[in-house]
């Protein structure tokens, strides 16, 4: 049997399901990226990104995965040997730290247990110790995709302010942008890193930096070598509606469509929808008798849920059963939690029945894999979806 009927369920926490409207928008002839039509396209997407990042400042778009935008944030603002402070919220925080080290920065990481977000008090204490202000940037992951933990950024900002520390604040929003409330300007973020393949409902291949004036000033003094990622060239070309090199034109058609869709639904409704689906998922996990990996209810992720498996059951074996039997992909455990957790992505273009199907697949897969379940998680989730929170995201007639 070489054909599997029906849609594959792509329930990893990104890349997410690409909606038909976006696929159709991408499926068009590529235009001249130095012509007048392109200017209209680039102006519309930059304006839409301003809304999504909640910023009035500069935004650049790279034809690159999120890792490229991580690198761009650092090489534009730092000088060789500068110190940056990271916080070990999970695998992606460690990968950003590794990238910084490979670039020649001194990347210190405040250790963490992966089951909590950034601890504002520990951050404040470390910054207060740094009286000579050697630390040039604090880099945090807003939503840790490896663990399903969302750090409370307003508290992070307050911790930096209380320590009276001038470090730049850099935030990775790759799995929170357009899924979980985020405010670049209001929260005093200097560089926000984003990616196309999660809340923005696009294929992988675009990434973003939203940049504060303070970061732009730092970029003028910064000495790290940079060319492809250089903000000055991107922003100079962007003023005219162009790129300094060939942009990913067809992905930009898709971006224009996804930004229109987010606008039609309304960002607040998008956030409420994600919150509702995450609550339903956690209810399912508890009803199965399993553990949500995130330990602090104030830090539950709205875009994914990492589920801790009983010690005698390998999470990847459960994922394999679910893939083979029900044609659904779930996120693997990354780094030190490989085999211990699986991750359910409930972000992007998603609705109640897609979540119900997802949870049915997980429940049946757990049973087939021999995991003893306390009760029906699907039942618990449906009860919540059907009654308690009547679709707060639907427009009132």
Among the listed residues 42, 150, 151, 175, the single contact to ligand PLP using CB under 6 A: 175
Among the listed residues 19, 66, 148, 194, the single contact to ligand PLP using CB under 6 A: 66
Structure tokens at 348: 């992007």
Residue span binding ligand PLP (CB under 6 A) among the ranges 171-179, 212-220, 225-233, 311-319: 171-179
- Helix, strand, or coil (residue 376): coil
User: Which residue minimizes CB distance to ligand PLP?
Assistant: 66
Our finding on whether 182 is near ligand PLP (CB under 6 A) is: no
**Alpha-carbon gap, residue 85 to 111, rounded angstroms:** 11
Among the listed residues 195, 333, 365, 377, the single contact to ligand PLP using CB under 6 A: 195
> How many residues touch ligand PLP (CB under 6 A)?
12
Our finding on whether 137 is near ligand PLP (CB under 6 A) is: no
Our finding on whether 14 is near ligand PLP (CB under 6 A) is: yes
Residue span binding ligand PLP (CB under 6 A) among the ranges 49-57, 64-72, 118-126, 337-345: 64-72
Shortest Å, Cβ 322 to ligand PLP? 20
Our finding on whether 148 is near ligand PLP (CB under 6 A) is: no
Our finding on whether 361 is near ligand PLP (CB under 6 A) is: no
Our finding on whether 16 is near ligand PLP (CB under 6 A) is: no
CB 12 within 8 A of CB 331: yes
Of 128, 121, 120, 123, nearest to 109 (Cα)? 123
Neighbours of 30 (CB within 10 A): 10
Among the listed residues 71, 82, 124, 172, the single contact to ligand PLP using CB under 6 A: 172
Shortest Å, Cβ 94 to ligand PLP? 11
Our finding on whether 67 is near ligand PLP (CB under 6 A) is: yes
Residue span binding ligand PLP (CB under 6 A) among the ranges 28-36, 170-178, 227-235, 252-260: 170-178
CB 276 within 8 A of CB 389: yes
Q: Angle CA(62)–CA(68)–CA(71) in degrees, nearest 5?
A: 120
Among the listed residues 105, 127, 168, 174, the single contact to ligand PLP using CB under 6 A: 174
Our finding on whether 254 is near ligand PLP (CB under 6 A) is: no
Neighbours of 80 (CB within 10 A): 11
Our finding on whether 61 is near ligand PLP (CB under 6 A) is: no
Among the listed residues 92, 187, 231, 293, the single contact to ligand PLP using CB under 6 A: 92
Bridging pattern class, strands 135-141 and 143-144: unpaired
Our finding on whether 123 is near ligand PLP (CB under 6 A) is: no
Q: Angle CA(202)–CA(178)–CA(149) in degrees, nearest 5?
A: 110
Structure tokens at 242: 């162009």
Shortest Å, Cβ 397 to ligand PLP? 37
Q: Angle CA(161)–CA(165)–CA(166) in degrees, nearest 5?
A: 105
Structure tokens at 192: 């926000």
**Alpha-carbon gap, residue 260 to 279, rounded angstroms:** 27
Strands (E), the chain: 9-11, 58-62, 83-87, 106-110, 135-141, 143-144, 149-150, 168-172, 191-195, 207-211, 291-292, 304-308, 328-330, 341-345
> Which residues lie near ligand PLP (CB under 6 A)?
14, 65-67, 92, 141, 145, 172, 174-175, 195, 204
């Amino acid at each position: 049997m070489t054909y599997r009927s029906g849609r594959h369920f792509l329930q990893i926490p990104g890349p997410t399901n690409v909606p038909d409207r976006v696929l159709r928008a991408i499926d068009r002839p590529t235009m001249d990226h130095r012509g007048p039509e392109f200017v209209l396209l680039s102006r519309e997407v930059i304006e839409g990104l301003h809304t999504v990042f909640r910023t009035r400042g500069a935004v650049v778009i790279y034809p690159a995965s999120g890792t490229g935008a991580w690198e761009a944030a650092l090489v534009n603002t730092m000088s060789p040997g500068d110190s940056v402070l990271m916080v070990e919220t999970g695998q992606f925080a460690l990968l950003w730290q590794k990238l910084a080290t490979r670039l020649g920065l001194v990347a210190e990481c405040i250790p963490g247990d992966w089951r909590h977000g950034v601890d504002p008090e520990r951050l404040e204490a470390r910054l207060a110790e740094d009286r000579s202000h050697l630390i040039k940037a604090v880099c945090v992951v807003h939503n840790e995709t490896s663990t399903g933990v969302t750090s409370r950024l307003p508290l992070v900002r307050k911790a930096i302010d209380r320590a009276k520390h001038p470090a730049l604040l850099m935030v990775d929003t790759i799995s929170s942008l357009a899924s979980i409330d985020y405010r670049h300007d209001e929260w005093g973020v200097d560089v926000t890193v984003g990616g196309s393949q999660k809340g923005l409902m696009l294929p992988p291949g675009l990434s973003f930096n939203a940049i504060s004036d303070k970061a732009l000033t730092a970029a003028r003094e910064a000495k790290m070598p940079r060319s492809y990622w250089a903000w000055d060239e991107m922003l100079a070309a962007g003023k005219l509606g162009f790129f300094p090199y060939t942009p990913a034109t067809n992905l930009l058609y898709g971006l224009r469509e996804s930004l229109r869709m987010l606008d039609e639904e309304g960002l607040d409704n998008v956030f409420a929808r994600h919150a509702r689906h995450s609550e339903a998922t956690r209810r399912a996990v508890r009803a199965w008798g399993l553990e949500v990996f995130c330990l602090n209810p104030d830090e539950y992720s709205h875009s994914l849920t990492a589920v801790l498996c009983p010690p005698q059951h390998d999470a990847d074996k459960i994922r394999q059963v679910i893939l083979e039997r029900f044609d659904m992909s779930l996120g693997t455990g990354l780094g030190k939690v490989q085999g211990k957790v699986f991750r359910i992505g409930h972000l992007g273009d998603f609705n109640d029945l897609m979540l119900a199907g997802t949870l049915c697949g997980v429940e049946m897969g757990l049973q087939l894999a021999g995991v003893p379940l306390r009760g029906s998680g699907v039942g618990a989730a449906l009860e919540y979806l059907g009654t308690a929170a009547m679709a707060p995201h639907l427009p009132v007639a």
